[in-house]
Amino acid sequence: MNKILVINPGSTSTKIAVFKDTEEVFTLTIRHSAVELEPYQRVSDQYAFRKEVIIQNLKANGFKLQNFTAIVGRGGLIRPVVSGTYEVTEHLITDLRKGVMGEHASNLGGIISAELAASVPGCKAYISDPVVVDELEPVARVSGHPLFERKSIFHALNQKATARKFARDTGKKYEDLNVVVAHMGGGITIGAHKKGRVVDVNNGVDGYGPFSPERAGTIPAGDLAKLCFEGRYTLQEVKRMLNGQGGLMAHLGTNQAHLVQKKAQEGDPKSNLILSAMAYQVGKEIGSMCSVLEGEIDAILLTGGIANNSYVVDRIVKMVRHFAPVKIYPGEEEMRALAENTLRILNNEEACKIY
């Protein structure tokens, strides 16, 4: 039996889980206060602090590092890669530390996994389906100006896991299906999965697509350009408008969709309008991805935390139900996805990739 440690760092927390093959035997979310994180100028500087906290919590709950077969961390912002599970090498660690595609807490996943695995004979460290998975068709990369190329940055881990779960539920192979997957969380990404490859998807970080609880999505380019040269905002302030302080945060001052739903249901007109607009943009983007698949769609899958929000889901389903059957997979199972992806490597069901 393989024992797998899963590490998923977030901006203010670190999730850990222990799996015995596919059985989750332990899970814990470790919260990090602003005071604890304040001394670290860069996200990558936090790795020693977070690593020690993980070790302490594993020990406190009766787990020994030397008993793990593999350690897998959430993949970060490395250079674009194809979907799969990657062994953590020095080259990979270097790019995670540099933040070659940007700073994000998930960059710590591979770094911490490698350091922990190095202390255990025979144990290897992995990352799997990082957010920079890039399987776009060439035509999907082209924007309206050669200086700007469309990028693939999305919730690859949960989108792929959800599509595989639907395939298992229907007795089929992911590689034989065409599905549109909408991940709806702090960010929203919608991908066209064509026979196992995400051939088109919106950039859910600071690019385009529906606005979300924290991100602005597609906004009028001319107005954005004008704002940038008015001198009222710094580059960092504008970036925060696009990612972190956009979407529901900008309109309503909260990133909690369930609270907005409650206010909308109580009759608040602005909450109703903004939440309906977010659902509208999700439905419109799903329709766009259905056209990418030329109407040959096995299912439309809604996942992520907001898939629990009936106010949003009902509006989306009304817009897209005529394209294909809609299946709801609320929440996300990133920890299980990381463990199962690693288990396929350990069982020689899939080849490990090298970055």
pLDDT in tens, 185-201: 989 999 999 999 999 99
Shared domain for 184 and 125, answered yes or no, is no
* Residue 162 lies in domain: 156-330
First and final CA of the chain: distance in angstroms?
Answer: 27
Inter-helix orientation angle 156-169/334-346, to 10°: 70
Please check whether residue 277 lies inside any domain of the structure. Answer: yes
The yes-or-no verdict on residue 235 having pLDDT over 80 is: yes
Question: How does pLDDT run across 276-307, given as a tens digit for each residue?
Answer: 999 999 999 999 999 999 999 999 999 999 99
**Quick one: pLDDT at residue 287?**
98
| pLDDT tens-digit map of 267-282 | 999 999 999 999 999 9
Same domain, 107 and 28: yes
If asked whether residues 206 and 104 sit together in one domain, one would say no
Say which DSSP state 199 is in: E
Q: Quickly state the pLDDT bin for 318 (edges 50, 70, 90).
A: very high
Strands (E) located in 116-232: 124-128, 178-184, 188-194, 197-201
Continuous segment of H or E residues that includes residue 115: helix 107-117
Distance of alpha carbon 134 from alpha carbon 245, whole angstroms: 26
Is there a domain that residue 74 lies in?
Answer: yes
Question: If you average pLDDT over residues 62-77, what whole number do you get?
Answer: 94
User: For 109-167, what is each residue's pLDDT tens digit?
Assistant: 999 999 999 999 999 999 999 989 999 999 999 999 999 999 999 999 999 999 999 99
Overall number of domains in the chain = 2
Residues 90 and 218 in one domain: no
Asked whether residue 144 is domain-assigned, the answer is no
* Whether residues 197 and 284 fall in one domain: yes
Question: Does residue 223 share a domain with residue 111?
Answer: no
The pTM of the full predicted model, rounded to 2 decimals, is 0.89
Q: How far is CA 349 from CA 13, 19, 165, 291, 343, in A?
A: 32, 18, 17, 33, 8
- pLDDT tens-place string over residues 324-348: 999 999 988 899 999 999 999 999 9
pLDDT, residue 11, reads 74
| Residue 265 included in any domain | yes
Question: pLDDT at residue 351 above 80?
Answer: yes
Report yes or no on 344 lying in a domain.
Answer: yes
Q: What is the pLDDT of residues 78-113, one digit of tens each?
A: 999 999 999 999 999 999 998 888 888 889 999 999
Q: Are residues 321 and 215 in the same domain?
A: yes
DSSP for 201-238 reads: E--TTTTSSS--SSB--S--HHHHHHHHTSSSS-HHHH
In a domain, 114, yes or no: yes
Q: Give the pLDDT confidence score for residue 38 in this predicted structure.
A: 86
Mean pLDDT of the 260-269 span: 95
Query: Tokens 């950039």 — which residue?
Result: 203
* 121 assigned to some structural domain: yes
- What pLDDT is recorded for position 95? 94
The predicted-structure confidence for 7-49, as pLDDT tens digits, reads as follows 999 877 899 999 999 999 999 999 888 788 889 888 888 989 9
d(CA 179, CA 177): 6
Q: Are residues 305 and 173 in the same domain?
A: yes
Q: Residues 32, 127: one domain?
A: yes
Are 161 and 303 found together in one domain? yes
In a domain, 245, yes or no: yes
Of the pLDDT bands very low, low, confident and very high (cuts 50, 70, 90), residue 205 is confident
Question: Whole-angstrom Cα distance, residue 135 to residue 174?
Answer: 15
Q: Examine the domain organization and report whether 102 and 197 are in the same domain.
A: no
> Quick one: 27 and 78 in the same domain?
yes
Query: What CATH number does the domain containing 184 carry?
Result: 3.30.420.40
